[in-house]
Amino acid sequence: MEEKEEARHQAEETALANPEKEQRKNDRGKTEVVIEIKHLKKSFGSKDVLKDINLTVHRGENVVVLGRSGQGKSVTIQCIVGMLTPDEGTLKVFNEDVSALNEQELKDLRIKIGFLFQSGALYDSMTVRENLEFPLTRVLKIKDQADIDKRVEEVLDSVGLTDSADKMPADLSGGMRKRAGLARTLIIKPEIMLYDEPTTGLDPITSREISELILNMQKKYKTTSIIITHDMECARITADRVVIMNDGEYIEEGTFDSLQNSKNKTVKSFFKDIS
Ligand SMILES: Nc1ncnc2c1ncn2[C@@H]1O[C@H](COP(=O)(O)OP(=O)(O)OP(=O)(O)O)[C@@H](O)[C@H]1O
């Protein structure tokens, strides 16, 4: 294993390892608030990136955040996981104020949150199967090989990669790599999934497949998701609710269909190419 990858493994273990903290049981149905953001502000120097962000996400929902480049979508995500501290406002995840959490509490929170970044974040020196085994053995500390095999087979089946288990990431297409990255994130069954531009760089057909997969994963794993995208087709397929972000604020929200009839000029501009 390469040095860089080893360093990443170690960072990941430190950030995530806490086998005793099992996932919170969903016993309050869809109305439970999982993420609550109120009047969030964040500036970098003189640049006000987040000016007044307000968002409530309920358990099991897929919320899509649509916004042009550089609007602060990624900054919002980094605030949610405590990688950035907001200047003002409150941000609660599972009813806990993220900026008040200590290091250990942040680690406990992050084990419940899965990220799917644009790159897919696979380890290039490992096969797909080894990539999937890694979080099970190193993060969840599972030792029973039969249990590991069962979990790997299940998640491979979910993302349609059963026949590619022994391939190297370099031998996969862009769409397959994205599927494998998703499998690697889902295998520890996070309660919240954060997707940062999940379809960027993929052709329209593969993008559609990934969007449908995101929807299927929501149904199968009952995960709460925030999906950041510019891809209107992805938004249409995956969203229970769409939030439009512009100039540091969420300016309008609703179902994909309801927003198509918005009178707001900025909202309209997102939908202008949709027939
Ligand atoms: N750590 C940081 N320090 C300084 N400026 C930052 C930092 N993180 C983000 N920014 C700035 O904040 C703005 C918003 O960035 P962000 O990455 O959240 O945009 P985005 O909406 O996700 O855009 P994109 O769709 O292009 O990824 C950008 O101008 C960026 O340069």
What is the ipTM score, two decimals?
0.94
CB atoms within 10 A of CB 63: 21
* Nearest ligand 1 atom, CA 67: 21
- What is the residue with the minimal CA distance to atom 7 of ligand 1? 44
Q: What is the DSSP string of 89-116?
A: EEEEETTEEGGG--HHHHHHHHTTEEEE
Residue 175 has pLDDT above 60, yes or no: yes
Write the pLDDT tens digit of every residue in 206-244.
Answer: 889 889 989 988 888 889 999 999 899 999 999 999 999
pLDDT at residue number 120: 59
From the list 115, 125, 128, the residue with the least C-alpha distance to 167 is: 128
pLDDT at residue number 1: 55
Report the chain's mean pLDDT, rounded to a whole number.
Answer: 85
Write the pLDDT tens digit of every residue in 4-21.
Answer: 555 555 444 444 433 332
CATH 3.40.50.300 fits 3-18+26-271, yes or no: yes
Confirm or reject: Cβ of 248 under 6 Å from ligand 1: no
pLDDT at residue number 66: 92
Confirm or reject: Cβ of 241 under 6 Å from ligand 1: no
pLDDT at residue number 14: 40
Is 228 in contact with 63 (CB distance < 8 Å)? Answer: no
Confirm or reject: Cβ of 42 under 6 Å from ligand 1: no
Q: How far is the CA of 142 from the centre of ligand 1 (A)?
A: 37
pLDDT at residue number 38: 96
Query: pTM here?
Result: 0.83
Residue 27 has pLDDT above 90, yes or no: no
pLDDT at residue number 29: 45
Average confidence (pLDDT) over 247-258? 92
pLDDT at residue number 24: 33
Q: Which amino acid is at 172?
A: L
Confirm or reject: Cβ of 186 under 6 Å from ligand 1: no
Q: Which amino acid is at 255?
A: T
pLDDT at residue number 274: 60
33-44 vs 47-58, strand pairing mode: antiparallel
What's the burial of 45, exposed, middle or buried (CB within 10 Å: 0-12/13-18/19+)? exposed
Confirm or reject: Cβ of 246 under 6 Å from ligand 1: no
Confirm or reject: Cβ of 73 under 6 Å from ligand 1: yes
Write the pLDDT tens digit of every residue in 75-134.
Answer: 998 899 888 999 999 999 999 999 999 988 988 888 889 887 665 578 899 999 999 999
Q: How far is the CA of 185 from the centre of ligand 1 (A)?
A: 24
88-93 vs 96-97, strand pairing mode: antiparallel
